[in-house]
């Protein structure tokens, strides 16, 4: 699988990415107290399909014998980090925070993005966690350049997050994207010399996605087999953008709507 994309492929990913951004904005706008996860999921899927795309998470399998993921959105509430199914019987309440992770296929190419949003009025510590995670995502994206290293992303994320004492999730990482939902290279959000040295080249399309916990970085999978939660059950936040590496820096193919 090629780590780089052609101009035509990038053009399709740009169109798909802007459609994906509209779908995520619609989902974010739907978040409010009293709304169910299914309500939000339906809004996002409608925007994607009306725009000529197809949800990339719905029906997704990591392996052939896995159960297919059931919904368009991964919706993760409070201490949940990622991969929460959007059809669970959860009603959002004032003070919750909600991670919305979404992907689509458009003209045969895939893009991916995520945002964490408040439900009504939230605590100062929740609002700060959201703001810092968003800042870390954009810092990780903006440090990418031709001739740099994938490990530069981790250093940029750490520079934003560590002063606040938050935990950077280690079990989950960013990734390449385009021909598949998940491609190489792996893009960790923390420094670790055990990861291979990967040089960044023009035409790479990368999903930058820090996942940050209010406490430690340890996670576990819930009994449903999908939802990843913080072991300490403290709040978590997640932001993600798909970028393409150009000779002049990067272009964000999935602009954050919040």
Domains of the chain with CATH codes: 7-252 (3.90.230.10)
Distance, C-alpha 16 to centroid of its chain: 16
Per-residue pLDDT of 159-185, as tens digits, reads 999 999 999 999 999 999 999 999 999
Burial 87-104 (b: 16+ CB within 10 A, else e): bbebebeeebbbbbbbbb
The whole-model pTM stands at: 0.96
Mean pLDDT, 10 residues at a time, the chain of 258 residues = 88 98 98 98 98 96 85 98 96 98 98 98 98 98 97 98 98 97 95 91 98 97 96 98 96 94
Helices (H) and strands (E) in the chain, counts: 4, 15
């Amino acid at each position: 699988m090629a780590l780089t994309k052609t101009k035509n492929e990038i053009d399709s990913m740009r169109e798909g990415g802007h459609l994906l951004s509209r779908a995520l904005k619609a989902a974010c706008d739907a978040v409010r107290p009293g709304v169910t996860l299914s309500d939000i999921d339906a809004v996002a899927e409608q925007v994607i399909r009306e725009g000529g795309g197809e949800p990339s998470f719905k029906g997704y399998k990591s392996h052939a014998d896995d159960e297919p993921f059931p919904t368009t959105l991964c919706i993760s509430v409070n201490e949940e980090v990622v991969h929460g199914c959007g059809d669970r019987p959860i009603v959002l309440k004032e003070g919750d925070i909600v991670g919305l992770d979404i992907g689509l296929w458009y003209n045969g190419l895939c893009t991916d993005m995520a945002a964490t949003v408040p439900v009504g009025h939230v605590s100062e510590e929740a609002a700060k966690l959201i703001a810092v995670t968003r800042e870390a995502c954009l810092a990780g994206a903006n440090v990418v350049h031709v001739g740099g290293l994938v490990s530069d992303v981790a250093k940029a994320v750490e520079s934003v997050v560590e002063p606040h004492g938050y935990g950077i999730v280690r079990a989950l990482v960013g990734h390449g994207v385009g021909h598949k939902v998940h491609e190489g290279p792996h893009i960790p959000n923390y420094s670790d010399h055990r990861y291979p040295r990967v040089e960044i080249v023009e035409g790479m399309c990368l999903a930058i996605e820090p996942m940050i916990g209010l406490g430690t970085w340890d996670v576990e999978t819930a009994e449903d087999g999908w939802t990843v939660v913080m072991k300490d059950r403290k709040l978590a936040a997640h932001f993600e953008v798909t970028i393409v590496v150009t000779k002049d820096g990067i272009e964000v193919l999935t602009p954050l709507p919040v």
